[in-house]
Structure 1
């Protein structure tokens, strides 16, 4: 008898649970319908389904490692300067209107999207970039950080770093000389990645990894794994709960822990040296800690957030830009020859490059800018709409993020005629300046802190490559782009090298 009563109550409880789930599901569906009604006046492709929205289309666009940004370019061409993408109850708005880029990126009243950047702050529950300069959506807190860090990235302070730029780039040239003599193919992306990591660790934190010289370190792999984890986490934050992904999630956690542990030890050691009155290296960390003292300090965890941020924004992106540039130069002999003539004219046989040399490499500046137009390592950014607004006559309700893509706008003919042609003349000093459609380092108050650092380093490395070698891509490689959190060349820019004899001036 009592067993029958138990089963009866269990049945009622199951019915009640099913009813609750059903009511919650219906409420969720009602909310999704409300979102549709709120945003459906904005142009966009037909949804694949009521609940999933465009998720199947997005997944198909990323099959076989295809680039999702090419889909966004297609949608911008088809649906105009403002279009929407639906994913479940969320809406992503993309704008390719230059006036909106000017309004939202140049004006500090529009924060970064808290939903997106709060997810970037950690990976599968492990703090990664936290509330660092890239991810902090709180303008006041971000502004304090930026004020502390600006002096360390000023042009005047970075000019002291040319010795390191030259030294690390020379180690790369020595490695490449050996490869050239042995007629051995080399992945330039891999080696350039080692150089930029050697530079940022030394210039920013006084660390000597010496990766180019052959030293082994878990650091490069940790950065790559963290970036991969960041990309997967943005696409599917629930994958950590699936048994098949546990090994990968654990690897991401270990990589993030290695980065933060190394940073914690480095910062603690430098602080102790300051307390002891020891002579300090003139690197970025010293300058930041000195500035932080004047600004009533900076939380250690936030310092670690920026330690991780520097390796993503200050190493990976520069390596990718240089690799894309070399990749493109391999199929642009006329541009390469003109660049060589400029480098030979400015440098001749000299190995040490100084700031004055960099300022005289005008055509190289054009080449690097064109590379960033066509292959931006950081494809875009977003801002959160805090009040109802109108873009190109289309009403945008508040409470949504607007994405601005320099990748998409850089490949649109209405902004850059013949956009798929690599043409450095677009950035000739006398050429018309792109009007808010080119922002590889973002724009306005939240533009990239390290852009001067990045371009000084890029010019030193590229100058030496052009000065010393002729390079040719190994046949069979594609010019495809791979998204690993930043955009990089898919096939690694595998080249054969030939040492060249430089004519004196």
Structure 2
């Protein structure tokens, strides 16, 4: 009896002490949030919905209603100016569309990638995702070593040699579209370009032929699942703790594991083949392994970074290019005058040739303008961010250190102050002789951390679009959504459903 009473009393005391500790911790957190508010509340911005959650409820409600948070950021930029802040718990995000500060922070290596995003992308729900790869590495020396190893694989000389592979894979898409045209069926253009760009990156980077246009591989689904998980992981820190989300969390973890285990197997097999003097393809993976072999020291951590970059290539090397192509097809179908002009240029430069050369790509000037204008309206990677390590005055506003600065290419590219009639699709903005505003168009970011694969992506996009324009007419299926879906990257919500017909080349 005495022991039972003693245990009950002790338990009550422990619970009471625990509640007291939690209450004191809560009061401490409240005081900390209040201090953060006092430190940054002089910066313009929309009113908070919650003292603690800040603007999180607005963002989560927008996502729940299938809205686009980037349109919300655009509305706030138009209302509050080139510098405004929002709060997420104790985090302060300062959105900047001031060109001088974009230049200052993105062109310099002294402003690290932001810690919050790094943690959110390093792993998802406990499963390593992008880790410390090129996109996420915060330590400059760590990042620079990886960039030094990978750079040779993206040299202009090496990219020139990939033109044949781009042609080969794009031809498979043309064959698929010819079949669609013959059968007079609808074509899901986003799905098709997704599969062909994944085929390209797997072939040129890893020497594998998966032929995803015909085979229902797990990879496209795994990538989409990872992207969906990424959005929830970044924008809702409590997502994984709600029981109704546990099944999806498990799917995301499995998708991350699939990409990483596949990468580990492919990298190991290639290393063994190189060590054994086997005949290996001269692809990006071989280039990277050989470059890494020239380094003075390669640790087990460096090997893990290689796997991080494998996943990064899978995601960034196909997803963003596919989305750009889909948006481009959508806008060309909506603008017959632009489509006709682009087709005429392709006819003049390419004619009826099946093999598009590297030199041909340089002559497709108007098509380049079309692709750039597509990325202005639809930057598939909509922005980037940096931690502010020192106080900074931005457009006359003092911003204390400790905030995260957000640079949104989506917002800047749609502001009237930078682009006249910004919502109009007008490729002439990028005519070689047209005046161009600086540091407000950065779909591949800027400076030392700009996208390593941007030339690769634009070469691939040009080859695919040139062949499509050369051979087919396409029209959007009526009634589909032309809105944007946000999966961290931006993609057409309706999938760009098209009817496709063979072009009639009169006189040729």
Instruction: Give the TM-score taking structure 2 as reference length.
Output: 0.97
* Partner deviation per Cα, 1:161-212 (whole Å, 9 max, x = no partner): 1111111111111111111011100100000001000000000000111012
Contact 1:349 1:502 in 2 (8 A): no
1:94 maps to what in 2?
Answer: 95
2:423 maps to what in 1?
Answer: 420
Q: In 1, Cα distance between the equivalents of 2:219 and 2:21?
A: 49
Q: In 1, Cα distance between the equivalents of 2:296 and 2:440?
A: 38
Q: In 2, Cα distance between the equivalents of 1:210 and 1:308?
A: 19
Which stretches in structure 1 are left out of the alignment for 5+ residues?
Answer: none
Equivalent residues in 2 for 1:219-230, closer than 5 Å: 219-230=219-230
Q: In 1, Cα distance between the equivalents of 2:32 and 2:307?
A: 39
* Partner deviation per Cα, 1:52-76 (whole Å, 9 max, x = no partner): 2112222222232110000000000
2:270 maps to what in 1?
Answer: 270
Contact 2:387 2:404 in 1 (8 A): yes
Q: In 1, Cα distance between the equivalents of 2:197 and 2:257?
A: 21
**1:353 equivalenced with 2:369 (yes/no):** no
- Name the SS for the 1:186 alignment partner: strand
Closer/same/farther in 2, CA of residues 428 and 463 from structure 1, 3 Å limit: same
Contact 2:60 2:235 in 1 (8 A): no
Deviates more, 1:11-20 or 1:150-159: 11-20
1:242 maps to what in 2?
Answer: 242
* Partner deviation per Cα, 1:249-305 (whole Å, 9 max, x = no partner): 111111111111111111111111111112221111111111111123652211110
Instruction: Give the TM-score taking structure 1 as reference length.
Output: 0.98
Deviates more, 1:10-19 or 1:387-396: 10-19
**1:71 equivalenced with 2:55 (yes/no):** no
- Measured after TM superposition, the shift of residue 6 of structure 1 is 4.5
- Measured after TM superposition, the shift of residue 405 of structure 1 is 0.3
Aligned length, in residue pairs: 504
- Measured after TM superposition, the shift of residue 8 of structure 1 is 4.0
Contact 2:379 2:490 in 1 (8 A): yes
Equivalent residues in 2 for 1:118-197, closer than 5 Å: 118-197=119-198
2:391 maps to what in 1?
Answer: 388
Contact 1:344 1:502 in 2 (8 A): no
Equivalent residues in 2 for 1:283-432, closer than 5 Å: 283-296=283-296, 298=298, 299-432=302-435
Pairwise CA RMSD: 1.3
- Name the SS for the 1:426 alignment partner: helix
2:281 maps to what in 1?
Answer: 281
- Name the SS for the 1:177 alignment partner: helix
- Name the SS for the 2:398 alignment partner: strand
1:258 maps to what in 2?
Answer: 258
- Measured after TM superposition, the shift of residue 14 of structure 1 is 3.1
- Name the SS for the 1:434 alignment partner: coil
Equivalent residues in 2 for 1:479-490, closer than 5 Å: 479-490=482-493
* Partner deviation per Cα, 1:364-405 (whole Å, 9 max, x = no partner): 000000000000100000111111111011111112210000
Contact 2:383 2:406 in 1 (8 A): yes
| Residue 501 of structure 2, aligned match among 471, 474, 498 | 498
Contact 1:111 1:383 in 2 (8 A): yes
* Partner deviation per Cα, 1:218-256 (whole Å, 9 max, x = no partner): 111111111111111112233323322221111111111
2:205 maps to what in 1?
Answer: 204
Closer/same/farther in 2, CA of residues 504 and 106 from structure 1, 3 Å limit: farther
- Name the SS for the 1:144 alignment partner: helix
Contact 1:348 1:503 in 2 (8 A): no
- Measured after TM superposition, the shift of residue 100 of structure 1 is 0.5
- Name the SS for the 1:398 alignment partner: coil
- Name the SS for the 1:47 alignment partner: coil
